[in-house]
Amino acid sequence: MLDATFTKLEVWQKSHKFVLQIYKVTNKFPSGEKYRLVSQLCRSVSSVPTNIVEGNSRASKKEYLRFLITSKGSLEETKYHLLLARDLGYLKPTEFEDLSEQANEIGRMLSGLIKSLK
């Protein structure tokens, strides 16, 4: 019923790229944050494309929607972690703005995909 080729989904492509950028930027965070903010941020951001993939592999639209909604929740968690990183001085304002815009775009795309499946 559903296309199992998740790599063709633009929202997955953008969220995967977003994960790579977050991993890169967190390499500059203080080493004391490795098991605190870096861990939380990397876990939440990687959950976005992971849930897209898992939902895409499900046999029903209802299950797919559930995973997409979870993906949106992980994205919101990521947005908070980015805000915290900015406020702690780990992200430059320009980095924060760029990452926030990417997150917002991914959120709009997820919302569109959810709406199209409903």
Q: Which CATH superfamily is domain 6-117 in?
A: 23S rRNA-intervening sequence (1.20.1440.60)
Domain residues of the chain, as ranges?
Answer: 6-117
What pLDDT digit, counting tens, does each position of 5-45 carry? 788 899 999 999 999 999 999 999 999 999 999 999 999 99
Is the separation of the CB atoms in 47 and 74 below 8 Å? yes
- Higher-confidence position of 73 and 56: 73
Q: What tokens were used for 106?
A: 């991914």
Dihedral (C-alpha) 11, 21, 72, 101: value to the nearest 10 degrees? Answer: -80
pTM value is 0.91
Distance CA 81, CA 70 (A): 17
What value, to the nearest 5°, has the Cα angle with vertex 72 and ends 61 and 47?
95
Instruction: List, in order, residues 6 or more apart from 40 with CB less than 8 Å away.
Output: 81
* Residue 58: band (very low, low, confident or very high) from pLDDT cuts 50, 70, 90: confident
